[in-house]
Amino acid sequence: MQNIRRRKPSESEPSKPPETNLPDSDDDTKTTQKGPKRESRKEESKKRKENKNKWSCVDNCCWLIGVICSIWWGLLFLYHCLPSSFPQYVTEAITGPLPDPPGEKLLKEGLTAAHPVVFVPGIVTGGLELWEGHQCADALFRKRLWGGTFGEVYKRPSCWVEHMSLDNETGLDPPGIRIRPVSGLVAADYFAPGYFVWAVLIANLARIGYEEKNMYMAAYDWRLSYQNTEVRDRSLSRIKSNIELMVATNGGKKAVVVPHSMGVLYFLHFMKWVEAPAPMGGGGGSDWCARHLKAVMSIGGPFLGVPKAVPGLLSAEAKDVAVARAIAPGVLDSELFRLQTLQYVMKMTRTWDSTMSMIPRGGETIWGGLDWAPEEGYDCSKKKQRNNNTLSASHEESGSYSSQRKNVFYGRMISFGKDVAEASPSEIKRINFRDAVKGSNIANGTCRDVWTEYHDMGVQGIKAVAEYKVYTAGDILDLLHFVAPKMMARGDAHFSYGIAGNLDDPKYENYKYWSNPLETKLPNAPELEIFSLYGVGISTERAYVYRLSPSMDCNIPFQIDIAADEGDEDSCLKDGVFLVNGDETVPVLSTGFMCARGWRGKTRFNPFGIRTYVREYDHAPPSNLLEGRGTQSGAHVDIMGNFALIEDVMRVAAGATGNDLGGDRVVGAPPVVSRCLAENRFFASLMLKPQGARVIATLGQSIWFSLF
């Protein structure tokens, strides 16, 4: 077979591609496909470039966090590198030379430590530590569960709530849990890092020679009822023995006691307990206070209760919480953070018996009724505050009284609806809730493990509360008994809220009356002086507009209605809350009335004529951020750093009397009411009668506030 060979082309001949028999249409298709692919690639690359230039929400958040962290670390670096006097230098460059702290000022005057000083902290400001707990609290022995950094709140919230709650039946420790107050000055010098309570006062006292041998922090578990602090911890006995020890080791010089907030009521209870015979009392005898106490300098004392306590018990909120609820709807009523919800807050705080000690006392006689209140004519318009050096001001200043303002019915402490709060008494149709039949149609199982007594009321019981429309101070106790019967059953055993008709009645020897200044007598200590020191010039909660919650299945059924607002800057109604003059927490009526009238001179509440003084401090906010919380604040807690107040306390501790301080210090007394001061005997005689306060209110507008 002949071999067929293919001739190899020479290098000079160009190579030809192999011929194919594909139709012409395929060539056309290839050509058309290459065009779109190139265009799509170009578009994709263009989009990639555009996306690189665009920032997503995550990018923006990361950038913002980075900027904040950079600024923070930069400021922290400067804070540690710059001299400690730099903030003061900048502040003085802006505002002028700062006054010397009271400690420095009084040291230059030659004042030194004289009388021992006892501090009595108020509610929530004292630290609490764990001594025994459940398994979830392992490794927390003697660690603070309240105060300090509050780290356990977000690390193990359910465990924290479980341990901070008390037994709902006894008001004492639940089984297997022991939380006790921190001891020493560190118990309440700072509430949290950087947030002082007693620290500024302690530091200034130290400048004139005070130390722990002549200063004592009377720490106690502020969750308990006052008598139960003795039953469980012997707190009252320890206060008694420490005062006796300090008086004995300081040459017999009597003690100056400085209680703050609820600590004022606690020490009022102590003064009756220490005189009472054992076992109910301390067995110190009727002259114990006369032998051991020089002065009681009450700071922000809620002698007659606090209206703010009512919404706290009713719906676990106040003005700030209600506003926060509106800003972030549903968050405070959801399981977003598991236990940081109002339902769990209510579950916990309703086991704290001390909260019931702040319920307003005296009923309608003190706080007003449907058609009247002692604050009638109060002017809520805000004027520029000056400083604390002015002891009086014209009635045109902030916190004055005017008959030309729109009348506000402050006596209506709770109103369901803005229209009800402003209606005339004859227009209000009320359906009595006291005999309403409660139901159980709100199943506790649907509410997970959250339990409040609202789940036992049912829809009919909740609607009955709203249909009563208006609650005065006389109705508040019945309301709380209706919505929280177990809580109030414990409260009835430890506190009372009335006005005594006959203080010689043997029933008033029971400890439940000892913290109510309207149902007890001051001790037999004629040389003792009692001061009421408090801030003024800040809008303070007095009455509330409520509504039913949109959903009542598991949520708290009542809410402050922040939509109830006049929309006027000078209005007394803001975000569902009616405001009056006070220290942002306690109205002037509660802080000032007893020392201004109820105890002034010899009255049935002060039969031995203990001298009383009122010292007001007009609020002046800090002029710049470097001043921190300010040195002229009148706010309920910030006043603890008020230089004028600290100076008054230090002078009394160094030996001064109330007359040495200049007597009463009154801010902004209206001239028409100031004339009534000359008729003090007339007011004192009225105070001898149970209904005297109501008579005073009928004499004319603001007549109660002759010192306010």
* Residue numbers annotated as active site: 261, 583, 636
Question: What's the full length of the chain, in residues?
Answer: 708
SS3 of residue 471 by DSSP: strand
Burial of 626 (C-beta count, 10 Å sphere; 0-12/13-18/19+): middle
**CA 386/CA 380 separation, integer angstroms:** 17
Whose CA is closest to 688, among 597, 604, 608?
604
Whose CA is closest to 381, among 236, 238, 570, 244?
570
Q: How far is CA 517 from CA 268, 298, 361, 594, in A?
A: 8, 13, 9, 8
DSSP string, 148-197: TT-HHHHHSHHHHHHHHPPPTTTSSPPTT-EEEE--SGGGTSEEETTEES
Positive or negative: CA dihedral 177, 178, 182, 188: positive
| First vs last C-alpha separation in the chain | 136
Question: Which residue is listed with tokens 């109830």?
Answer: 564
Parallel, antiparallel or unpaired: strands 144-146 and 128-132: antiparallel
Partner residues linked to 440 by β-bridges: none
Report whether 325 contacts 559 (CB < 8 A): yes
**CA 328/CA 305 separation, integer angstroms:** 31
Tally of helices (H runs) and strands (E runs) in the chain: 25, 17
Phi first, then psi: what are they for 259, rounded to 5°?
A: -90, 155
Report whether 519 contacts 498 (CB < 8 A): yes
Whose CA is closest to 480, among 355, 374, 369, 591?
355
The Cβ-side half-sphere exposure at 570, using a 13 Å CA radius, reads 14
**CA 514/CA 494 separation, integer angstroms:** 9
Parallel, antiparallel or unpaired: strands 558-560 and 538-548: antiparallel
Cβ-Cβ contacts under 8 Å for 195 (sequence gap 6 or more):
none
SS3 of residue 578 by DSSP: strand
**CA 155/CA 322 separation, integer angstroms:** 26
**CA 405/CA 441 separation, integer angstroms:** 46
Which two tokens mark 188?
């309440």
Which two tokens mark 415?
């109103």
Burial of 554 (C-beta count, 10 Å sphere; 0-12/13-18/19+): buried
**CA 96/CA 89 separation, integer angstroms:** 9
What amino acid is encoded at 562 in this protein?
Answer: I
Bond from prior residue into 99 cis (ω within 30 degrees of 0): no
Partner residues linked to 147 by β-bridges: none
H or E stretch at 36: helix 24-53
**CA 240/CA 255 separation, integer angstroms:** 11
Report whether 297 contacts 258 (CB < 8 A): yes
Work out the angle at residue 192's Cα, subtended by the Cα atoms of residues 580 and 344, and round it to the nearest 5 degrees.
70
